[in-house]
Amino acid sequence: MRDGLVLGLIPETWRFELTQFPWVRRLLKSRWMPLGLILFNVFLFTVILMAGFFGGLTSPGNYNFGIMIVWILWWVLLMTVLVPVLSRFWCTMCPLPFLGEWLQRLRLFGVRYERGRNLYFGLNKRWPKSLSNMWLMNILFLATTFASGFFTVRPAATFVLLAAIIALSVVLSLIYRARTFCLYVCPVSGFQGLYSNFALTEVRVKDPEICARHKTKGCVVGNERGYGCPWLLLPYAFRRNTYCGMCFECLKTCEYDNMAVNLRPPGVDLLVDEKRGLDEAYKALIMLGIAVVFFVTFQGPWGTLKDWANAATLSGYLAFIGLHASWNLIVLPAIFLLFTWVARRAARQAVPLKKVYVNFSYATVPLGLAAWIAFSLGIILPNGSYLLHVLSDPFAWGWDLFGTAHFPWTPVLTGIMPYLMILTLLVGLLFSIDIALKIARQTFVEPEAAVRDAFPILGFLGATTFGLMWLFVG
């Protein structure tokens, strides 16, 4: 697979500007975007919180609106469509930081701007430098998955999780600047950021020369049309999707209409050889590891494991947490370390092991994403029909709003589901191989030996894929 081409087919530099269409640009420059979407989701999440609250600890998960919308519909949409296609578009419309941001701005619709800068309510402190990375999100996401067995069966668990996230985001918004909560704390932010590097969509500057000549840089400092990038990026310069929350403020603030939303080939940001770090490497491996644990626990044939995760007994639950944490934090990273060590030995070059480890971890992203898409298929195809039920009777109070409250459980395409999962994984593997070969060329100085140098990593990717396939078919 040649450098400069994705899968040897599409130029990495290929872009199709969606904002070239006047109506798209007008829509994204309107202050109703994304406010309208957020308000809709605020309404939806209010119903979800109520369903979680009233559903308590006992009502069956498959008949609870909160559980079905969050863990079936939202999760599946997030993993199969939103992140791989639209990057962090969920962050565009996420209702969780809504209250905090509203308080910071003290405006729902307009822009607070005086004497050359945006005004914010609150202390606007800087987040500690030592926490300005993905480590906290790695830990919080992993910790959240410890309770994964509860989320799908106990509505109150979903209520507690969402309410805690909203409360924390409000408190942090009043103390820290901009979207600190989203950047460094939100448990689902880290993987969205990393996996968005694979996405087909991006917000980017059009002509860097215009920015270079532009003196006032409204995209950073804000102006009367919008806020300086709430995600603390320098919009005229960033090169990866990781931290772009797709809020479209920079489209509103740029005086030259020099920001664009583009379609692009998948995976190109994974090749950006800057800002790579151990925190993101761990994020990639943890996501892959959790996908394996979830398959084994929730879709595998081992009922005991599922009982452990559901806390049928305290000792079983503690065993689940212990195994889950050590697999993700120690065992899988150590296995990957072994493979990268072999790759470095094979390359016989004095590249620091940490650099080899971190660089190649980005090659696991397409495979990790594919594993999550496959896992999501295993959720939605058998269980999707429950959604019709809960839409009609969200609080399990015997309502029948849309006449679908008694729709029977109807699994869809479950006969071919394992093959769909395998196909998804193989596509992910293909992209991972492509990225691994290119990263080998970036990391080691002998580009012509990329296949040899990447061979151990290809081995890791292949073994992981076959392991997962065995789980599906098994």
Interaction with other proteins in 235-264: which residues (CB under 8 A)? Answer: 235-240, 242-243
Q: Is 218 in the site for ligand SF4 (CB under 6 A)?
A: yes
Shortest Å, Cβ 260 to ligand SF4 = 10
Please choose which of other proteins, ligand SF4, none residue 203 contacts, taking the beta carbon within 5 to 8 angstroms, the exact cut-off set by kind: ligand SF4
DSSP class of residue 406 equals T
Q: Is 361 in the site for ligand SF4 (CB under 6 A)?
A: no
Among residues 66, 84, 155, 245, the one that binds ligand SF4 under rule CB under 6 A? 245
Which pair of tokens denotes residue 280?
């993101």
Nearer to ligand SF4, 208 or 459 (CB): 208
Among residues 26, 275, 345, 354, the one that binds other proteins under rule CB under 8 A? 275
Other C-beta atoms lying within 10 Å of the C-beta of residue 128:
9
Please choose which of ligand SF4, other proteins, none residue 247 contacts, taking the beta carbon within 5 to 8 angstroms, the exact cut-off set by kind: ligand SF4
Amino acid at site 182: C
Is the peptide bond between 34 and the residue preceding it cis, with omega within 30 degrees of 0? yes
- Classify residue 210 as exposed, middle or buried by CB count within 10 Å of its CB (0-12, 13-18, 19+): middle
Encoded one letter per residue, x for contact with ligand SF4 by CB under 6 A and - for no contact, window 251-270 reads: ---xxx-xx-----------
Which pair of tokens denotes residue 229?
């990038």
**Piece in contact with ligand SF4 (CB under 6 A), picked from 120-128, 208-216, 446-454, 461-469:** 208-216
Among residues 5, 221, 337, 423, the one that binds other proteins under rule CB under 8 A? 221
Please choose which of other proteins, ligand SF4, none residue 213 contacts, taking the beta carbon within 5 to 8 angstroms, the exact cut-off set by kind: other proteins
Which pair of tokens denotes residue 350?
């004095």
φ, ψ dihedrals at 436, nearest 5°: -60, -40
The sign of the CA dihedral 280, 286, 289, 295 is negative
**Of 291, 371, 372, nearest in space to 78 by CA:** 372
Nearer to other proteins, 215 or 301 (CB): 215
**Piece in contact with ligand SF4 (CB under 6 A), picked from 2-10, 227-235, 302-310, 317-325:** 227-235
Shortest Å, Cβ 419 to other proteins = 41
Query: Is 203 within 8 Å of 261 (Cβ atoms)?
Result: yes
Residues 6+ positions from 153 with CB-CB distance below 8 Å: 60, 61, 67, 310
Residues 6+ positions from 212 with CB-CB distance below 8 Å: none
Please choose which of ligand SF4, other proteins, none residue 115 contacts, taking the beta carbon within 5 to 8 angstroms, the exact cut-off set by kind: none
Bridge partners (DSSP) listed for residue 29:
none
Q: What does the binding site for ligand SF4 look like in residue numbers (CB under 6 A)?
A: 203, 205, 210-211, 214, 217-219, 229, 231, 233, 235-236, 244-250, 254-256, 258-259
